[in-house]
Amino acid sequence: MKRERTKRLANPSHPPLKIHFLGAAGTVTGSLFLVERFLENRVVRFLVDVGQHQGNEQLDKGNRLPKGITASMIDFVLITHAHIDHSGWLPKLIKDGFKGFAYTHPATLDLLKILFPDSGRLQEMDADRINKRLKRRGKTFRVSPMYGIEQAEAALDQIKLIEYGVEQKFAGGDIRVKFTDAGHILGSAVVTVTVGSGAQERIICFNGNIGRPATALLKPVEPVRKAHVLIAESTYGNALHDKRDRLQALADIINAGYQRAVKFRHEKYGCGKICIPAFAIGRVQAVLYDLRVLMEQKRIPQIAVFLDSKMAIAATDVYYEHPELLNDEARALLARGRDPIKPAKFLACRNKRQKDLLSQPANEPIIIIGSSGMAAGGPIRKHVKRYLPGKQNSVLFVGHQEEGGLGHELLTGHPSSVEIDRDVVRCNATVELMPDYSGHADYEDSIAWMSHFESAPQMTFLVHGEPEGLEGFKQHIRQKLGWAVTIPQHRQSFDIR
Protein backbone atom coordinates (compact mmCIF):
# COMPACT_ATOMS: atom_id res chain seq x y z
CA MET A 1 0.00 0.00 0.00
CA LYS A 2 1.35 3.42 -0.90
CA ARG A 3 2.47 5.63 1.97
CA GLU A 4 -0.07 8.30 1.05
CA ARG A 5 -2.94 5.87 1.57
CA THR A 6 -1.83 5.15 5.11
CA LYS A 7 -2.64 8.70 6.05
CA ARG A 8 -5.94 9.48 7.69
CA LEU A 9 -8.04 11.46 5.27
CA ALA A 10 -9.33 14.86 6.25
CA ASN A 11 -12.72 15.03 7.85
CA PRO A 12 -15.11 17.97 7.27
CA SER A 13 -15.36 18.37 11.04
CA HIS A 14 -11.62 18.89 11.34
CA PRO A 15 -10.26 22.44 11.75
CA PRO A 16 -7.86 23.60 9.01
CA LEU A 17 -4.91 23.16 11.37
CA LYS A 18 -3.94 21.39 14.57
CA ILE A 19 -0.78 21.84 16.64
CA HIS A 20 0.47 19.10 18.98
CA PHE A 21 2.93 20.04 21.75
CA LEU A 22 5.00 16.87 22.05
CA GLY A 23 8.16 18.24 23.65
CA ALA A 24 9.48 21.29 25.51
CA ALA A 25 5.97 21.84 26.91
CA GLY A 26 6.39 22.56 30.61
CA THR A 27 10.11 21.77 30.34
CA VAL A 28 13.19 23.34 28.75
CA THR A 29 14.42 20.57 26.44
CA GLY A 30 13.11 18.01 23.96
CA SER A 31 11.65 20.45 21.42
CA LEU A 32 9.04 18.67 19.25
CA PHE A 33 5.92 20.19 17.68
CA LEU A 34 3.60 18.50 15.18
CA VAL A 35 1.44 20.52 12.82
CA GLU A 36 -1.39 18.84 10.93
CA ARG A 37 -2.83 20.60 7.87
CA PHE A 38 -6.21 19.16 6.89
CA LEU A 39 -6.90 19.44 3.18
CA GLU A 40 -9.87 18.15 1.19
CA ASN A 41 -8.38 14.79 0.29
CA ARG A 42 -5.38 14.37 2.59
CA VAL A 43 -3.57 15.46 5.73
CA VAL A 44 -0.13 17.05 5.55
CA ARG A 45 1.92 16.54 8.68
CA PHE A 46 5.20 18.19 9.57
CA LEU A 47 7.35 18.58 12.65
CA VAL A 48 9.04 21.75 13.83
CA ASP A 49 12.16 20.69 15.73
CA VAL A 50 13.08 17.14 16.65
CA GLY A 51 14.99 17.56 19.89
CA GLN A 52 16.25 15.09 22.44
CA HIS A 53 15.28 15.33 26.11
CA GLN A 54 18.61 16.22 27.68
CA GLY A 55 18.72 14.77 31.17
CA ASN A 56 15.87 12.32 30.52
CA GLU A 57 16.85 10.39 27.40
CA GLN A 58 14.55 7.47 28.24
CA LEU A 59 11.65 9.58 26.94
CA ASP A 60 13.25 9.63 23.49
CA LYS A 61 13.47 5.88 23.01
CA GLY A 62 9.77 5.32 22.36
CA ASN A 63 7.33 6.83 19.86
CA ARG A 64 6.82 10.43 20.91
CA LEU A 65 4.20 11.08 18.23
CA PRO A 66 0.45 11.11 18.99
CA LYS A 67 -1.41 7.81 19.09
CA GLY A 68 -2.20 6.60 15.57
CA ILE A 69 0.55 8.67 13.93
CA THR A 70 3.82 7.02 12.96
CA ALA A 71 7.12 8.36 11.69
CA SER A 72 6.27 7.25 8.14
CA MET A 73 3.25 9.58 8.18
CA ILE A 74 5.37 12.73 8.66
CA ASP A 75 5.86 14.62 5.40
CA PHE A 76 8.75 16.88 6.34
CA VAL A 77 10.64 18.36 9.29
CA LEU A 78 11.85 21.90 10.03
CA ILE A 79 14.83 22.39 12.36
CA THR A 80 15.34 25.80 13.98
CA HIS A 81 18.97 25.29 15.02
CA ALA A 82 21.70 22.76 15.70
CA HIS A 83 21.50 22.26 19.45
CA ILE A 84 20.74 18.61 20.19
CA ASP A 85 17.64 19.45 22.25
CA HIS A 86 16.19 20.86 19.01
CA SER A 87 17.67 18.48 16.43
CA GLY A 88 19.02 15.27 17.96
CA TRP A 89 15.89 13.11 17.68
CA LEU A 90 15.99 13.16 13.87
CA PRO A 91 18.10 9.97 13.53
CA LYS A 92 15.61 8.14 15.77
CA LEU A 93 12.68 9.44 13.70
CA ILE A 94 14.40 8.15 10.56
CA LYS A 95 15.13 4.84 12.27
CA ASP A 96 11.40 4.59 13.04
CA GLY A 97 10.42 5.07 9.39
CA PHE A 98 10.51 8.77 8.44
CA LYS A 99 11.24 8.89 4.69
CA GLY A 100 10.99 12.61 3.98
CA PHE A 101 13.47 15.44 4.35
CA ALA A 102 14.37 17.75 7.20
CA TYR A 103 14.98 21.39 6.25
CA THR A 104 17.34 23.74 8.02
CA HIS A 105 19.81 26.58 7.45
CA PRO A 106 23.12 25.70 5.72
CA ALA A 107 25.18 26.68 8.79
CA THR A 108 22.99 24.45 10.94
CA LEU A 109 23.70 21.50 8.66
CA ASP A 110 27.43 22.18 8.92
CA LEU A 111 27.16 22.13 12.72
CA LEU A 112 25.02 18.99 12.65
CA LYS A 113 27.84 17.27 10.75
CA ILE A 114 29.78 17.70 14.00
CA LEU A 115 26.98 17.15 16.53
CA PHE A 116 25.13 14.16 15.07
CA PRO A 117 28.11 11.75 15.00
CA ASP A 118 29.03 12.87 18.51
CA SER A 119 25.46 12.22 19.67
CA GLY A 120 25.56 8.75 18.09
CA ARG A 121 28.88 8.05 19.82
CA LEU A 122 27.40 9.05 23.18
CA GLN A 123 24.37 6.82 22.58
CA GLU A 124 26.68 3.87 21.86
CA MET A 125 28.81 4.62 24.92
CA ASP A 126 25.75 4.81 27.17
CA ALA A 127 24.43 1.48 25.87
CA ASP A 128 27.85 -0.12 26.27
CA ARG A 129 28.14 1.13 29.86
CA ILE A 130 24.68 -0.22 30.73
CA ASN A 131 25.42 -3.58 29.10
CA LYS A 132 28.65 -3.96 31.05
CA ARG A 133 26.74 -3.31 34.26
CA LEU A 134 24.06 -5.86 33.27
CA LYS A 135 26.74 -8.43 32.49
CA ARG A 136 28.37 -7.94 35.91
CA ARG A 137 25.00 -8.55 37.51
CA GLY A 138 24.53 -11.77 35.57
CA LYS A 139 21.70 -10.43 33.39
CA THR A 140 21.35 -11.97 29.95
CA PHE A 141 19.44 -9.21 28.14
CA ARG A 142 21.20 -6.25 26.52
CA VAL A 143 20.13 -2.76 25.52
CA SER A 144 20.69 -1.12 22.14
CA PRO A 145 21.53 2.55 21.60
CA MET A 146 18.71 4.82 20.47
CA TYR A 147 20.91 5.24 17.38
CA GLY A 148 24.59 4.89 16.65
CA ILE A 149 27.28 6.84 14.81
CA GLU A 150 26.46 5.32 11.41
CA GLN A 151 22.74 6.08 11.75
CA ALA A 152 23.53 9.62 12.90
CA GLU A 153 25.78 10.23 9.91
CA ALA A 154 23.22 8.70 7.52
CA ALA A 155 20.56 11.09 8.86
CA LEU A 156 22.55 13.99 7.40
CA ASP A 157 21.65 12.74 3.91
CA GLN A 158 17.99 13.47 4.63
CA ILE A 159 18.58 17.17 5.32
CA LYS A 160 17.92 19.91 2.77
CA LEU A 161 18.62 23.61 3.07
CA ILE A 162 16.63 26.83 3.43
CA GLU A 163 18.44 30.19 3.38
CA TYR A 164 17.27 33.14 5.46
CA GLY A 165 14.52 35.12 3.77
CA VAL A 166 13.85 32.57 1.00
CA GLU A 167 10.34 31.13 0.86
CA GLN A 168 10.16 27.34 0.57
CA LYS A 169 6.87 25.86 -0.67
CA PHE A 170 5.30 22.56 0.37
CA ALA A 171 2.04 20.77 -0.45
CA GLY A 172 1.73 22.43 -3.84
CA GLY A 173 2.24 25.89 -2.35
CA ASP A 174 -0.46 25.57 0.31
CA ILE A 175 2.31 25.66 2.96
CA ARG A 176 5.07 28.29 2.72
CA VAL A 177 8.05 28.40 5.06
CA LYS A 178 10.50 31.23 5.71
CA PHE A 179 13.54 31.33 8.00
CA THR A 180 14.81 34.53 9.61
CA ASP A 181 17.94 34.99 11.75
CA ALA A 182 17.27 34.15 15.41
CA GLY A 183 20.63 35.48 16.66
CA HIS A 184 20.99 32.54 19.07
CA ILE A 185 23.81 30.49 17.53
CA LEU A 186 25.25 30.36 14.03
CA GLY A 187 22.46 29.42 11.60
CA SER A 188 19.65 29.58 14.16
CA ALA A 189 16.29 30.50 12.68
CA VAL A 190 12.89 31.80 13.61
CA VAL A 191 10.53 29.68 11.49
CA THR A 192 7.42 31.32 10.03
CA VAL A 193 4.92 28.96 8.40
CA THR A 194 2.12 30.39 6.24
CA VAL A 195 -0.77 28.04 5.48
CA GLY A 196 -3.65 28.59 3.03
CA SER A 197 -4.49 31.82 1.28
CA GLY A 198 -6.91 34.73 1.32
CA ALA A 199 -9.31 34.82 4.25
CA GLN A 200 -8.25 31.29 5.17
CA GLU A 201 -4.56 32.17 5.46
CA ARG A 202 -2.96 31.43 8.82
CA ILE A 203 0.59 32.30 9.88
CA ILE A 204 2.35 30.32 12.61
CA CYS A 205 5.65 31.55 14.02
CA PHE A 206 8.04 29.29 15.95
CA ASN A 207 10.84 31.35 17.45
CA GLY A 208 12.96 28.32 18.48
CA ASN A 209 15.51 30.08 20.68
CA ILE A 210 16.17 33.76 20.11
CA GLY A 211 19.38 35.50 21.07
CA ARG A 212 20.31 38.64 22.93
CA PRO A 213 20.65 42.06 21.28
CA ALA A 214 24.46 42.27 21.57
CA THR A 215 25.61 38.67 21.16
CA ALA A 216 29.32 38.54 20.33
CA LEU A 217 30.07 37.76 16.67
CA LEU A 218 26.45 37.31 15.54
CA LYS A 219 23.79 39.60 14.15
CA PRO A 220 20.80 40.35 16.40
CA VAL A 221 17.52 38.50 16.00
CA GLU A 222 15.44 39.71 13.04
CA PRO A 223 11.96 41.05 13.77
CA VAL A 224 8.80 39.26 12.66
CA ARG A 225 5.84 41.51 11.84
CA LYS A 226 2.86 39.21 11.72
CA ALA A 227 1.57 35.86 13.00
CA HIS A 228 -1.82 34.50 13.94
CA VAL A 229 -0.14 31.95 16.20
CA LEU A 230 3.15 32.41 18.06
CA ILE A 231 5.04 29.60 19.79
CA ALA A 232 7.64 31.37 21.93
CA GLU A 233 10.54 30.07 24.00
CA SER A 234 10.67 30.97 27.70
CA THR A 235 14.09 29.83 28.87
CA TYR A 236 14.61 33.13 30.68
CA GLY A 237 10.91 33.93 30.88
CA ASN A 238 11.08 35.28 34.42
CA ALA A 239 14.71 36.39 34.54
CA LEU A 240 16.80 39.35 33.45
CA HIS A 241 20.42 39.23 32.37
CA ASP A 242 22.87 41.53 34.07
CA LYS A 243 23.18 44.61 31.85
CA ARG A 244 26.78 45.30 32.90
CA ASP A 245 29.68 45.85 30.51
CA ARG A 246 30.59 42.28 29.53
CA LEU A 247 34.04 43.18 28.25
CA GLN A 248 34.96 45.03 31.43
CA ALA A 249 33.73 42.17 33.60
CA LEU A 250 35.84 39.70 31.61
CA ALA A 251 38.86 42.02 31.72
CA ASP A 252 38.63 42.30 35.53
CA ILE A 253 38.49 38.52 35.96
CA ILE A 254 41.33 37.80 33.51
CA ASN A 255 43.58 40.52 35.00
CA ALA A 256 43.02 39.23 38.53
CA GLY A 257 43.68 35.67 37.38
CA TYR A 258 46.85 36.79 35.60
CA GLN A 259 48.15 38.48 38.75
CA ARG A 260 47.49 35.36 40.83
CA ALA A 261 49.14 33.19 38.20
CA VAL A 262 52.35 35.24 38.49
CA LYS A 263 52.29 36.01 42.22
CA PHE A 264 51.80 32.41 43.35
CA ARG A 265 54.11 30.87 40.78
CA HIS A 266 54.83 27.29 41.84
CA GLU A 267 58.32 25.77 41.90
CA LYS A 268 57.14 22.63 40.11
CA TYR A 269 54.16 23.82 38.03
CA GLY A 270 55.32 27.31 37.13
CA CYS A 271 52.86 30.14 36.51
CA GLY A 272 49.16 29.56 37.00
CA LYS A 273 46.59 28.74 34.38
CA ILE A 274 43.11 30.14 33.71
CA CYS A 275 40.69 27.36 32.71
CA ILE A 276 37.46 28.32 30.94
CA PRO A 277 34.86 25.57 30.42
CA ALA A 278 32.53 26.72 27.63
CA PHE A 279 29.95 25.16 25.32
CA ALA A 280 31.53 24.21 22.00
CA ILE A 281 29.06 26.08 19.81
CA GLY A 282 28.49 29.76 20.52
CA ARG A 283 30.16 30.26 23.91
CA VAL A 284 33.69 29.24 22.91
CA GLN A 285 33.66 31.54 19.89
CA ALA A 286 32.17 34.46 21.87
CA VAL A 287 34.81 34.16 24.60
CA LEU A 288 37.62 33.97 22.04
CA TYR A 289 36.20 37.03 20.27
CA ASP A 290 36.12 39.05 23.50
CA LEU A 291 39.61 37.96 24.56
CA ARG A 292 40.93 39.11 21.19
CA VAL A 293 39.24 42.49 21.58
CA LEU A 294 40.57 43.00 25.11
CA MET A 295 44.13 42.07 24.09
CA GLU A 296 44.04 44.35 21.07
CA GLN A 297 42.77 47.19 23.27
CA LYS A 298 45.56 46.40 25.78
CA ARG A 299 43.00 45.96 28.54
CA ILE A 300 44.45 42.56 29.41
CA PRO A 301 47.96 41.17 28.79
CA GLN A 302 48.85 39.27 25.64
CA ILE A 303 48.15 35.80 27.04
CA ALA A 304 48.56 32.58 25.09
CA VAL A 305 45.14 30.97 24.55
CA PHE A 306 44.81 27.21 23.97
CA LEU A 307 41.58 25.66 22.66
CA ASP A 308 41.46 22.02 23.75
CA SER A 309 38.22 20.61 22.36
CA LYS A 310 37.87 18.69 19.12
CA MET A 311 34.23 19.72 18.78
CA ALA A 312 34.86 23.40 19.57
CA ILE A 313 37.72 23.53 17.06
CA ALA A 314 35.50 22.05 14.35
CA ALA A 315 32.62 24.39 15.26
CA THR A 316 34.92 27.42 15.13
CA ASP A 317 36.00 26.40 11.63
CA VAL A 318 32.32 26.51 10.59
CA TYR A 319 32.14 30.20 11.54
CA TYR A 320 34.75 31.01 8.89
CA GLU A 321 32.65 29.18 6.29
CA HIS A 322 29.69 31.54 6.88
CA PRO A 323 31.09 35.08 7.13
CA GLU A 324 27.78 36.49 5.86
CA LEU A 325 26.18 35.49 9.18
CA LEU A 326 28.61 37.47 11.33
CA ASN A 327 27.95 40.98 12.65
CA ASP A 328 29.22 44.15 10.98
CA GLU A 329 32.38 44.41 13.09
CA ALA A 330 33.45 40.82 12.45
CA ARG A 331 32.81 41.10 8.70
CA ALA A 332 34.75 44.37 8.55
CA LEU A 333 37.75 42.68 10.15
CA LEU A 334 37.56 39.80 7.67
CA ALA A 335 37.40 42.29 4.80
CA ARG A 336 40.69 43.77 6.06
CA GLY A 337 42.27 40.34 6.19
CA ARG A 338 42.12 40.06 9.97
CA ASP A 339 40.81 37.21 12.12
CA PRO A 340 37.77 38.33 14.16
CA ILE A 341 37.78 35.32 16.48
CA LYS A 342 41.25 34.17 17.46
CA PRO A 343 43.63 36.16 19.68
CA ALA A 344 47.17 36.75 18.38
CA LYS A 345 48.71 34.04 20.59
CA PHE A 346 46.30 31.21 19.89
CA LEU A 347 46.69 27.47 19.41
CA ALA A 348 43.99 24.92 18.59
CA CYS A 349 45.18 21.66 20.14
CA ARG A 350 44.66 19.18 17.31
CA ASN A 351 47.16 16.47 18.35
CA LYS A 352 48.63 14.84 21.44
CA ARG A 353 51.85 16.81 21.30
CA GLN A 354 49.97 20.08 21.43
CA LYS A 355 47.70 18.83 24.22
CA ASP A 356 50.71 17.73 26.26
CA LEU A 357 51.94 21.33 26.34
CA LEU A 358 49.04 22.19 28.63
CA SER A 359 50.21 19.92 31.45
CA GLN A 360 53.80 21.17 31.39
CA PRO A 361 55.14 23.91 33.72
CA ALA A 362 54.30 27.32 32.29
CA ASN A 363 56.86 30.15 32.11
CA GLU A 364 54.00 32.62 31.86
CA PRO A 365 50.23 32.45 32.54
CA ILE A 366 48.09 30.77 29.90
CA ILE A 367 44.37 30.40 29.20
CA ILE A 368 42.86 26.98 28.44
CA ILE A 369 39.38 26.87 26.87
CA GLY A 370 37.40 23.71 26.25
CA SER A 371 34.00 22.08 26.31
CA SER A 372 31.78 21.05 28.03
CA GLY A 373 30.47 24.27 29.51
CA MET A 374 29.75 22.61 32.85
CA ALA A 375 33.04 20.67 32.96
CA ALA A 376 30.96 17.48 32.81
CA GLY A 377 33.38 15.77 30.44
CA GLY A 378 35.99 16.26 27.76
CA PRO A 379 39.58 17.50 28.16
CA ILE A 380 38.49 20.60 30.08
CA ARG A 381 37.27 18.42 32.96
CA LYS A 382 40.77 16.93 33.21
CA HIS A 383 42.30 20.40 33.21
CA VAL A 384 39.94 21.60 35.95
CA LYS A 385 40.77 18.50 37.98
CA ARG A 386 44.50 19.04 37.51
CA TYR A 387 44.54 22.75 38.38
CA LEU A 388 41.90 23.12 41.10
CA PRO A 389 44.41 22.36 43.88
CA GLY A 390 46.74 25.26 43.01
CA LYS A 391 45.99 28.76 44.36
CA GLN A 392 47.86 30.20 41.38
CA ASN A 393 45.09 28.88 39.07
CA SER A 394 41.62 30.10 38.12
CA VAL A 395 38.48 28.45 36.75
CA LEU A 396 35.98 30.67 34.95
CA PHE A 397 32.54 29.30 34.09
CA VAL A 398 30.75 31.32 31.40
CA GLY A 399 27.22 29.96 31.49
CA HIS A 400 24.46 28.48 33.61
CA GLN A 401 25.57 25.60 35.83
CA GLU A 402 22.93 22.94 36.47
CA GLU A 403 22.33 21.76 39.99
CA GLY A 404 24.21 18.55 40.67
CA GLY A 405 27.03 19.41 38.28
CA LEU A 406 30.65 20.16 39.15
CA GLY A 407 30.36 23.84 38.26
CA HIS A 408 27.29 24.32 40.44
CA GLU A 409 29.01 22.58 43.36
CA LEU A 410 32.14 24.72 43.05
CA LEU A 411 30.26 28.01 42.73
CA THR A 412 27.57 27.58 45.35
CA GLY A 413 29.19 25.42 48.01
CA HIS A 414 32.73 26.83 47.86
CA PRO A 415 33.96 23.40 49.04
CA SER A 416 37.46 22.71 50.32
CA SER A 417 37.45 19.60 48.12
CA VAL A 418 35.29 17.89 45.50
CA GLU A 419 35.11 14.44 43.99
CA ILE A 420 36.01 14.29 40.31
CA ASP A 421 36.00 10.92 38.56
CA ARG A 422 36.18 9.13 41.93
CA ASP A 423 39.20 11.15 43.08
CA VAL A 424 39.10 13.70 45.91
CA VAL A 425 40.46 17.00 44.60
CA ARG A 426 41.41 19.96 46.78
CA CYS A 427 39.90 23.31 45.81
CA ASN A 428 42.43 26.13 46.22
CA ALA A 429 41.99 27.76 42.80
CA THR A 430 39.76 30.82 42.41
CA VAL A 431 36.43 29.89 40.81
CA GLU A 432 34.40 32.56 38.99
CA LEU A 433 31.11 32.77 37.07
CA MET A 434 30.23 35.03 34.16
CA PRO A 435 26.59 34.42 33.12
CA ASP A 436 26.97 37.25 30.59
CA TYR A 437 27.54 34.79 27.74
CA SER A 438 24.07 33.29 27.75
CA GLY A 439 22.80 32.99 24.18
CA HIS A 440 19.15 33.25 25.26
CA ALA A 441 17.05 36.40 25.31
CA ASP A 442 15.70 37.35 28.73
CA TYR A 443 12.07 38.33 29.14
CA GLU A 444 12.70 42.01 28.33
CA ASP A 445 14.60 41.04 25.17
CA SER A 446 11.80 38.66 24.15
CA ILE A 447 9.08 41.23 24.73
CA ALA A 448 11.08 43.79 22.74
CA TRP A 449 11.15 41.28 19.85
CA MET A 450 7.40 40.62 20.21
CA SER A 451 6.69 44.35 20.15
CA HIS A 452 7.55 44.39 16.43
CA PHE A 453 4.35 42.46 15.67
CA GLU A 454 1.87 44.71 13.86
CA SER A 455 -0.98 43.23 15.88
CA ALA A 456 -1.33 40.72 18.68
CA PRO A 457 -1.34 37.05 17.64
CA GLN A 458 -4.68 35.38 18.16
CA MET A 459 -2.91 32.68 20.15
CA THR A 460 0.46 32.83 21.91
CA PHE A 461 1.90 29.61 23.38
CA LEU A 462 4.85 29.55 25.75
CA VAL A 463 7.26 26.61 25.64
CA HIS A 464 10.88 25.84 26.55
CA GLY A 465 10.74 26.84 30.18
CA GLU A 466 10.43 25.62 33.73
CA PRO A 467 6.98 26.16 35.33
CA GLU A 468 8.06 29.27 37.25
CA GLY A 469 9.63 30.84 34.18
CA LEU A 470 6.63 30.04 31.99
CA GLU A 471 4.14 31.53 34.41
CA GLY A 472 6.33 34.58 35.02
CA PHE A 473 6.72 35.20 31.28
CA LYS A 474 2.97 34.86 30.81
CA GLN A 475 2.39 37.65 33.33
CA HIS A 476 5.09 39.87 31.80
CA ILE A 477 3.53 39.53 28.32
CA ARG A 478 0.06 40.29 29.66
CA GLN A 479 1.30 43.37 31.52
CA LYS A 480 3.52 44.76 28.75
CA LEU A 481 1.60 43.75 25.60
CA GLY A 482 -1.88 42.77 26.76
CA TRP A 483 -1.78 39.53 24.75
CA ALA A 484 -3.72 36.38 25.54
CA VAL A 485 -1.22 33.67 26.50
CA THR A 486 -1.49 29.90 26.92
CA ILE A 487 0.98 27.52 28.56
CA PRO A 488 0.37 24.14 26.87
CA GLN A 489 0.85 20.88 28.70
CA HIS A 490 2.88 17.96 27.40
CA ARG A 491 1.09 16.18 24.50
CA GLN A 492 -1.73 18.74 24.50
CA SER A 493 -3.11 19.76 21.11
CA PHE A 494 -4.96 22.83 19.87
CA ASP A 495 -7.21 23.46 16.87
CA ILE A 496 -6.27 26.50 14.78
CA ARG A 497 -9.22 27.99 12.91
pLDDT level of residue 10 (50, 70, 90 thresholds)? very low
Query: Among 46-50, 226-230, 420-424, which is the least confidently predicted range?
Result: 420-424
Lowest mean pLDDT among 53-57, 186-190, 258-262, 458-462: 53-57
pLDDT value of residue 2: 44
Q: What is the pLDDT of residues 14-28, one digit of tens each?
A: 789 999 999 999 999
Q: Residue 362's pLDDT is what?
A: 87
Is residue 11's pLDDT more than 70?
no
| Percent of the chain residues topping a pLDDT of 70 | 97
Decide if 415 contacts 377 (C-beta within 8 A). no
CATH annotation of 246-437:
3.40.50.10890
Position 410 pLDDT exceeds 50: yes
Residue 7 pLDDT? 46
Q: What is the pTM of this model?
A: 0.94
What's the rounded mean pLDDT across residues 385-401?
94
In the predicted structure, residue 213 carries a pLDDT above the cut 90: no
- On average, the pLDDT of the chain sits at 93
Residue 197 has pLDDT above 50, yes or no: yes
| Whole-number pLDDT of residue 459 | 97
Non-local (6+) Cβ contacts of 455 within 8 A are: 226
Residue 483: φ, ψ to 5°: -85, 150
pLDDT of residue 12: 56
- As a whole number, mean pLDDT of residues 318-337 equals 96
Nearest to 231 by CA among 26, 464, 390, 479: 464
CB 85 within 8 A of CB 31: yes
Determine the pLDDT at residue 6: 41
Strand partners, 32: 23, 50
Average of per-residue pLDDT across 362-366: 93
Peptide bond into 372 cis (omega under 30): yes
pLDDT tens across 425-484, in order? 999 999 999 999 999 999 999 999 999 999 999 999 999 999 999 999 999 999 999 999
Into which CATH architecture does domain 3-240+440-496 fall? 4-Layer Sandwich (3.60)
Query: Where are the domains positioned within the chain?
Result: 3-240+440-496, 246-437
